[in-house]
Amino acid sequence: MSDLERLEQELQALRLTPSKSTDARIVTSASRALAQAAESGVTSLSPGKAEMRLHLRRRVLVAAAIAAFLLVLVSLVVQPWPTKKVVERMSAFSLLSQAWAAEGPLFTGGGVVSIEREIIVTAVSDPDLARMRWLPIMAMEASGTPRVHQLTLPAKPDEQYTVRDQTWYEPATGRFVRLLTTQEKPIFANSYDGRSVYSLESDPSGALRPVGRPVAETFRAPTSPAELLGMSAGLSDLLKRKDEGLVLLPGEVILSDGSRARVVKAGFPPAGPGESDSYWLFRIRVKDDLVAEMEWMAAGESVLVVRRVGTKKVEVPKVGWDLAGVELPAPKVEKRPTPAVTPDMVVSNVSVARMVEKADFETYILAANPSWTSRREITDILDIVSPPHRMFAITYLADDGRHVVLVQSPSYNTGLGPFSKQGNLVYTSPTGVKVWSGPRDKWLAGILLQSARAVIKVSPAEDRTGYLLETPAGTFPALAINGQVTEAELHSLVDSLIPAREYQEGGPGAEPAPKP
């Protein structure tokens, strides 16, 4: 070691320590600042502190459920692989579109492209937030159909960990491997070796094993691999939503690697003062237009960060195209919450029979489609807040744009129920379905309609209407109409609600019974 290198080491070891009086001054000032900030947060809410905390927790749950609903529905549009659109520059929308387009060239050229990302599950103090984090994760089936799974990323409060997300792709053949690991243990893998599609599946003992299935004749490797393997895979519909849900934040930020980035916020504004906010921040690097980081914010806290680590060319992937070489440790009972993949976050256009079969609560449906609508579509979604329960969104498409969306889920039943009492009872149907109306009606309608964008294809109307329903079964479906309805139309809608089970068993408009 040279003299100068030794000197550098000595310099690096030098540190000043604040005087005790400075320590005391800072701790006192910080304590006051923390108390003031906390106090200002409390006074804007009502009524007692304990009740406020309970409400806040529920709001967090609801906000997360809503964000989840938004994201899983937007992911529907990846069927089939979408084409890119040319859009105008200088807006949040075009910036995200540019970032999306910039990812395409990463999957081109000779050799094998190796891409690495990391998913940082950040330390949060709220136990509900710590428990409920997740990401949509795309996988390919042997039939060639993309599937949307849920990667759950739970943690204990104040716990932080990182998931390593590695992808290899061979542009010449379309072969790919995607492998997610935490502490060197695999939690998800999906690959295509030119003949079969492989994935990690649990055997009866709980151990993960690679399972290969020969591809179908109709199988085609993805023409847009970024949509399957890219950073924003599963979130592509954000790029089609040129509306108030996307905001380009002013200025630039400096990323941890020193590069400059613009920030796009994607989400919904809170319902009102003191309400929880839940949104994504996309940090788009100025020098290459790539999304360098995605950060999920909820209730004012950073709950998840997805960060691009690097891209390089290699000769062969670290593991086989058939997942050979993936190290599979013996299963063991973990005392702490661990990341896991739950299949099928979203299944579109399902039957009433499937809804009845999959739901573990009483679902309701309109006995007849509203007179101004022409078609019904049911979407089966994982209830993010309480997996493995399912959430169901029934959309009635209208010719005049006044689409109707009815959403039901266990988390809505527990999370939205208490809010109903904050509104007014405006109607009770002959069958006992209550209609509640409150100050959050329009906000809730906006969320439901935005979330159904993949089906209804239009922005929520300014004059949209929404209601919270309470059924005799004790469930709380949320209803939105993309426009104004008359009192008679609303009453007709609610009067028409019947248990889906009854509908299936021969009510008006009943579907044929499912084959055993």
Partner 1 sequence: MGAFLRIYERYKSDVLTLAAALLGHRDGAEDVLHDVFVSLAEGLPRRQPPVNLKGYLLTSAANRVRDTYRRARREPGALDEAVPVADPKADDPAALVAEGERARHLWNSVLSLPEEQRDVVAFKIYGGLTFKEVAERTRAPMNTVQSRYRYALEKLRQMLQQENVQ
Q: How crowded is residue 321: how many other Cβ atoms within 10 Å of its Cβ? A: 21
Q: What is the rounded distance in angstroms from the CA atom of residue 387 to the CA atom of residue 129?
A: 15
286 counts as binding partner 1 under rule CB under 8 A: no
| Cβ-based nearer residue to partner 1, 31 or 428 | 31
53 counts as binding partner 1 under rule CB under 8 A: no
**Do 255 and 292 contact (CB within 8 A), yes or no?**
yes
Q: How far is the CB of 300 from partner 1 (least distance, A)?
A: 5
Q: Quick one: which segment of 169-177, 295-303, 490-498, 507-515 binds partner 1 (CB under 8 A)?
A: 295-303
24 counts as binding partner 1 under rule CB under 8 A: no
Query: Which of 253, 264, 258 is CA-nearest to residue 294?
Result: 264
For 238, which DSSP code?
G
* Cis-peptide, bond into residue 47, ω within 30° of zero: yes
Pairing type for strands 346-350 and 373-382 reads antiparallel
Q: Quick one: which segment of 11-19, 147-155, 235-243, 428-436 binds partner 1 (CB under 8 A)?
A: 11-19
| Cβ-based nearer residue to partner 1, 125 or 205 | 125
Among 110, 250, 258, 273, binds partner 1 (CB under 8 A): 258
| Cβ-based nearer residue to partner 1, 32 or 421 | 32
Among 12, 205, 218, 486, binds partner 1 (CB under 8 A): 12
For 385, which DSSP code?
T
347 counts as binding partner 1 under rule CB under 8 A: no
Q: What is the rounded distance in angstroms from the CA atom of residue 299 to the CA atom of residue 492?
A: 38
4 counts as binding partner 1 under rule CB under 8 A: yes
Q: In sequence order, what are the beta bridge partners of 121?
A: 161, 304
20 counts as binding partner 1 under rule CB under 8 A: no
Count of residues in the chain: 516
CA dihedral 340, 346, 347, 348 (to 10 degrees): -170
Q: What is the rounded distance in angstroms from the CA atom of residue 1 to the CA atom of residue 50?
A: 62
153 counts as binding partner 1 under rule CB under 8 A: no
Q: What is the rounded distance in angstroms from the CA atom of residue 11 to the CA atom of residue 286?
A: 34
Q: What is the rounded distance in angstroms from the CA atom of residue 451 to the CA atom of residue 463?
A: 17
Q: How far is the CB of 297 from partner 1 (least distance, A)?
A: 7
For 361, which DSSP code?
S
43 counts as binding partner 1 under rule CB under 8 A: no
486 counts as binding partner 1 under rule CB under 8 A: no
For 159, which DSSP code?
-
Q: How far is the CB of 363 from partner 1 (least distance, A)?
A: 37
| Cβ-based nearer residue to partner 1, 300 or 418 | 300
**Do 200 and 36 contact (CB within 8 A), yes or no?**
no
Q: Quick one: which segment of 12-20, 205-213, 339-347, 466-474 binds partner 1 (CB under 8 A)?
A: 12-20
| Cβ-based nearer residue to partner 1, 286 or 513 | 286
288 counts as binding partner 1 under rule CB under 8 A: no
Q: What is the rounded distance in angstroms from the CA atom of residue 283 to the CA atom of residue 96?
A: 10
Tokens representing residue 423 in the block: 């509104």
Among 1, 14, 86, 172, binds partner 1 (CB under 8 A): 14
| Cβ-based nearer residue to partner 1, 294 or 382 | 294
Contact code string over 59-98 relative to partner 1, x by CB under 8 A: ----------------------------------------
Query: Which of 280, 224, 229, 241 is CA-nearest to residue 451?
Result: 241
Long-range Cβ pairs for the range 101-104 (8 Å, 24+): 101/289, 102/288, 102/289, 102/290, 103/226, 103/230, 103/231, 103/232, 103/290, 103/291, 104/224, 104/226
Among 97, 122, 420, 504, binds partner 1 (CB under 8 A): 122
Among 90, 110, 125, 218, binds partner 1 (CB under 8 A): 125
Q: Quick one: which segment of 34-42, 195-203, 329-337, 403-411 binds partner 1 (CB under 8 A)?
A: 34-42
205 counts as binding partner 1 under rule CB under 8 A: no
Q: Quick one: which segment of 132-140, 253-261, 267-275, 489-497 binds partner 1 (CB under 8 A)?
A: 253-261
Query: Where do contacts with partner 1 occur on this chain (CB under 8 A)?
Result: 3-4, 7-8, 10-19, 22-23, 25-27, 29-31, 33-34, 36-38, 41, 120, 122-125, 158, 254, 256, 258, 297, 300-303, 305
